[in-house]
Copies of this chain bind each other. A is one copy, B any other.
Amino acid sequence: MKITTEQIQDFNKAGLGSHKENFDFLANKLTQNGHNVEAILSKLADFQIAIPSWALGAGGTRFGRFSFYGEPSSLEQKIEDIGLIHSLTQTAGAVSLHIPWDVPQDYNAVKELAQSLDIKFDAVNSNTFQDQKDSKYSYKYGSLSNIEKEVREQAIQHNIDVINIGNKLGSKALTVWLADGSCFPGQNNFQAALQNTQDSLKDIYKGLPEDWKMLIEYKPYEPNFYSTVIQDWGTSYMLANECGEKALSLVDLGHHLPNSNIEQIVSILMLKGKLGGFHFNDSKYGDDDLTAGSIKPYALFLIFNELVYGMANNPQNPDLAWMIDASHNVKDPLEDLIQSLEAIQEAFAKALLVDQAALKAAQLAHDVIKCQEILQGAYRTDVRPLLEKARLNRGGVISPINAFRSLDVRNGLIKERGRNSVATGL
């Protein structure tokens, strides 16, 4: 299934008048306040977020999973799904593959398909938290951190394999999420586990092509419930430093202890030139993997405020890899992704409205009231017309959710794939 330019133009017709009115009013106000609206639109248009290949079907919990309909059952179908989202939103121009779930059968075909949909291959993800049917050693007691050399070597080799697969597709980064840890006090020697992990990461790093990055994720708990080897940004940062300059930390918003100040972590990592990428989602309790912006949109804005600041002021930090990492337990996965994309763009747009010069002046004057007024002034602005405009400029639709429904995309997919197709993933 593919959405045509005609369908998009048709859909937009009805809303264009109202959009123009709203946009002009807002753009005028912003211009009066010294903002460069064109520059903002251009940044929004350039901001592309990768969709993970494992998040195109329904998600679940250890207590079960309620399937959705018309899920993609092959890598090609997954890419087609992203193509659908991208054609509507114009912000999902990349896919992040998970190996071994997404090993291409025909590399050229897959590349051509992606190219035809304007989709790039972002970071590739390895999986050493599950055992594969054909694997010799089990990861039950750890992979890169395992005390047994054979297990570590198998896990290292898997990461090298993943790099090679990604390399054939045009990816430029490997994301390592290491679930290793322990469920009970005493199970692991913390020091040995970290040392082994460091050595394993260094071995993988050696296999990294010159123009690649290695992104090291951290997480305090789950699936291990007593300790995790890379439990926080400090550990990830330490490991990235040990590996070398192509190794960077990756922040997943759900991977923090309660009440963490994530924006500060983001800011400090950028100061040190070590922030490599982002996994967007939202959460209330743990790694809930909810739609981005659905629970704490102001926190998302504050994070983008630091990102915008860092991208302008921290040349020492490389370009960032952006990805959604959410689970769709009760929503249509494609609609859910559209809501996440919208929320992320919204946070970015609002952060672009922060008057950095005025903020700095207020900070220098210890004018805390003013600092808050500046941030909240930007946040309170209704930026939806900007997002619409940015999408329209690139050939997308005014309202992606409405278009998705109006074009009856899900039923189209069900017709093509059947009601009970199931996507690989969690």
Residues of A within 8 A of B (CB): 22, 25, 29, 59-64, 66, 129-131, 138-141, 147, 179, 182-192, 194-195, 220-223, 225-227, 231-235, 237-238, 257-261, 263-264, 267-268, 270-272, 283-286, 288-291, 293-299, 302, 305-306, 309, 313-314, 329-332, 335-336, 339, 346, 359-360, 362-364, 366, 368-369, 371-376, 379-382, 384, 401, 426
A232: nearest chain-B partner, CB-CB: B234
Instruction: Provide the bound-state CA to CA distance between A282 and B331, in Å.
Output: 31
State the copy count for this chain.
4
Would A130 and B64 count as touching, CB distance under 8 A?
yes
Known pairs A129-B63, A131-B66; A191 contacts B267 (CB<8 A): yes
Instruction: Provide the bound-state CA to CA distance between A63 and B219, in Å.
Output: 14
Would A290 and B226 count as touching, CB distance under 8 A?
yes
How many Å from the CB of A84 to the closest CB on chain B? 15
The 8 Å CB contact of A64, one of B22, B129, B195, B295, is B129
Q: Which residues from B are CB-within-8-Å of A270?
A: 191
Instruction: Provide the bound-state CA to CA distance between A302 and B190, in Å.
Output: 12
Would A330 and B184 count as touching, CB distance under 8 A?
yes
Instruction: Provide the bound-state CA to CA distance between A286 and B234, in Å.
Output: 21
Known pairs A234-B232, A234-B233, A234-B234; A401 contacts B373 (CB<8 A): yes
Q: Which residues from B are CB-within-8-Å of A66?
A: 131, 138-140
A373: nearest chain-B partner, CB-CB: B401
Q: Which residues from B are CB-within-8-Å of A268?
A: 190-191, 194, 235
Would A368 and B331 count as touching, CB distance under 8 A?
yes
How many Å from the CB of A376 to the closest CB on chain B? 8
Would A221 and B368 count as touching, CB distance under 8 A?
no
Instruction: Provide the bound-state CA to CA distance between A383 and B295, in Å.
Output: 20
Instruction: Provide the bound-state CA to CA distance between A185 and B212, in Å.
Output: 35
Would B234 and A183 count as touching, CB distance under 8 A?
no
Instruction: Provide the bound-state CA to CA distance between A384 and B381, in Å.
Output: 9
Would B194 and A285 count as touching, CB distance under 8 A?
no
